[in-house]
Amino acid sequence: MNKKEAKERIEKLREKTEYYAKKYYDDDKPEISDYEYDMLMVELRNLEKEYPEFKSKDSLTQKVGGHVKEGFEKVTHEVPLQSLQDVFSLEEVDDYITKTNEKAEENKIKDRKYVVETKIDGLSAALEYKQGKFVRGATRGNGLVGEDVTNNLRTIKTIPMELKEKIDITVRGEVFISKKNFEKMNKEREEKDEELFANARNAAAGSLRQLDSRVTAKRPLDIYIFNVQKIEGKKFNSHFEELEYLAKLGFNVNPVRIPCNNIEEIEEAIKKIGREREKLTFDIDGAVIKVDDLKFREILGTTAKTPRWAIAYKYPPERKETKVKDIICQVGRTGVITPMAILEPVRVAGSTISKTTLHNEDFIKEKGLKIGDTVVIQKAGDVIPEIVEVKKRKRTGEEKDFEMPKVCPVCGAEAVREEGEAAVRCTGIECPAKLYRNLVHFASREAMNIDGLGEQIIKQLLDRGLISNMADIYSLTLEDVASLKKNGTKFAENLINAINRSKQNDLYRLITAFGIRHVGTKASKVLAKRYKTMDRLMNVTSEELAMVDDIGPIVANSIREFFLQDQTRDLIERLKQAGVNMEYLEEESGDNRFEGKTFVLTGTLEKYTRGEATNIIEKFGGKTSSSVSKKTDYVLAGEEAGSKLTKAQNLGVKILSEKEFEKLIK
């Protein structure tokens, strides 16, 4: 890798890690597993080490990845709440201990003891006490500034409001939800048809960061204290001694703390925690190795992000064996039919897993998976688990092959897999699984342009059973719509008027509104202009369609499959009965001044939207394209035109300003 490539990769890694850190720390909705995130950080750290000229204080290798949520008061931590340097092998642990012991020898430190603790998978918090009374609590935030969550922390029963000694102390702990309570909480949410929490860590983080402490009080939060941040009037020699004192004060201290004297004992402690993690009542995401001697800690010091006196050993992604009881298919909102494995329930990385996606039929074939197989699943923290191995040696002969359905399991319409794609899709326009999305598109500005019929109104209409397909929109009454809003008469009048106006739309808008795969506004205009009526378009062959400019064989097959469906023909008949226009209305201008010319639009125009400018070009016989090439005749450039303008200049393509464009269309 050369310097240029290294710089580009570093920038890409920083962008990725910032995004995933925000989803994890700020939104409590991680999108990748802990392991995948850790591997990105390892790659970034190694590249920054190899190319120090590209190192930056803004990199997540140099800071803690969290921010203060809007609505909370900020708290500046007197002693920073740092994160730990992660390692992923016992060799790295050995290397760390060896170097640390060498440092101890240099500084004539005789006590070279360590403490190995469980790394609890929760949300870090600092608790502040004055004269033994709890006065304030805050989240870690970015390590320097956190969120004041005092009232929320007061709802946690294991946090003492008053200590057994009148002392000024700030401690650090991890807020979590036990395995048992997490399962119970998710079961209750399932019974209420509420969204389930992905895992206990996110449930705990989301609960602690509620703006309303009454919500927090209903969640079964717990805490383990694992460090003294600051203390007045007392001195300790060792970390282990501190922990024992914290327990005497009344704190709920991390129960797994193993004193070790050498590398061998440290390795055994790590392995023991790994073996027994299933027996723990709480989830962990590693083991922490800490220098026990507090004076030695001061000598070792810290970096801007991490202490040099501790590291975190991360266990490999947890894997478990289970059986595939069945494979069912689910239909997504876009019509994609996804196979799902129904598993014998097994607990992996903090969650009980009873099903997992199989992505598509190619994935099933690659794995050689059958119904009844014993499989290995992996869930490295926070995402949906995946089957990583099929134990074919454990087959009994009773296993069954699986085939993707030929029809949609929800609506019975034909299920198709297009050439070059992995996904199988439902072709039914009225399929309940994708109805909401289809209705939103149908009413949208680029389609039927029904002003006022937005996402929330469509959801309300569906929830109340007032519509169940696109044609039902035209059966809505003033009373139906007015019932959606308090004092909604005026709103209802406006929406009914907009619905009635949409009946007079040009044919191309209705074609666009159907959401036929691969058919956008541009292709819809071509089809409307070519075939003039819906009836003609419905009955044209795919061979003929493929010969039309800007259509081609793939789009032609998609159009033909759509119009062959009974659902489509029934819908069109109902729309006809409702009075929706089925004919091409746009008058031929007779002026083809742009015939054979291709335009590319870039930047923001002052007087026209992109759609309006496109309509004008097409009215005069021209075409628009999304990319610049040698075949492009004009690039219409507005404000903040980007790379397309640069490419046009390099190719010598004629560039038009908005004023020059207006001269051409007069």
Q: Which residues are catalytic?
A: 119
Q: What are phi and psi of 298, to 5 degrees?
A: -60, -40
Is residue 158 within 8 A of residue 151, CB to CB? The reply is no
Structure tokens at 209: 């960061």
Q: Which of 540, 536, 538, 533 is nearest to 582 (CA)?
A: 533
Q: How far is CA 234 from the centre of its chain?
A: 47
- Cα–Cα distances in angstroms (integers) from residue 458 to residues 57, 96, 256, 418, 571, in the given order: 47, 59, 53, 30, 18
Token pair 């290995």 in the structure block, residue: 376
Q: What are phi and psi of 45, to 5 degrees?
A: -60, -40
How many C-beta atoms lie closer than 10 Å to residue 466's C-beta?
17
Q: Which of 346, 368, 363, 364 is nearest to 355 (CA)?
A: 346
Is residue 307 within 8 A of residue 297, CB to CB? The reply is yes
Task: List, as one string, the DSSP characters of 213-264.
Answer: HHHHHTS--EEEEEEEEEESS---SBHHHHHHHHHHHT--B-S-EEEESSHH
Structure tokens at 199: 């895992």
Is residue 609 within 8 A of residue 617, CB to CB? The reply is no
From CA 201, how far away is CA 212, in angstroms rounded? 19
Q: Which amino acid is at 566?
A: D
Kindly report the length of the chain: 666
125: left (phi over 0), alpha (psi -120 to 50) or beta: beta
SS3 of residue 38 by DSSP? helix
Is residue 117 within 8 A of residue 224, CB to CB? The reply is no
Q: In angstroms, how far apart are the furthest CA atoms of the chain?
A: 97
- Cα–Cα distances in angstroms (integers) from residue 647 to residues 521, 627, 644, 660, in the given order: 26, 10, 5, 20
From CA 220, how far away is CA 197, in angstroms rounded? 13
Q: Characterize the bridge pairing of strands 336-348 and 424-426.
A: antiparallel
- Cα–Cα distances in angstroms (integers) from residue 511 to residues 245, 437, 442, 577, 649, in the given order: 74, 16, 10, 17, 37
SS3 of residue 75 by DSSP? strand
Which secondary structure element, helix H or strand E, spans residue 520, and what is its range? none
Is residue 240 within 8 A of residue 294, CB to CB? The reply is no
How many C-beta atoms lie closer than 10 Å to residue 639's C-beta?
9
**Can you give the three-state secondary structure of 380-425, one letter per residue?**
CCCCCCEEEEECHHHCCCCCECCCCCCECCCCCCEEECCCCCCCEE
Is residue 116 within 8 A of residue 90, CB to CB? The reply is no
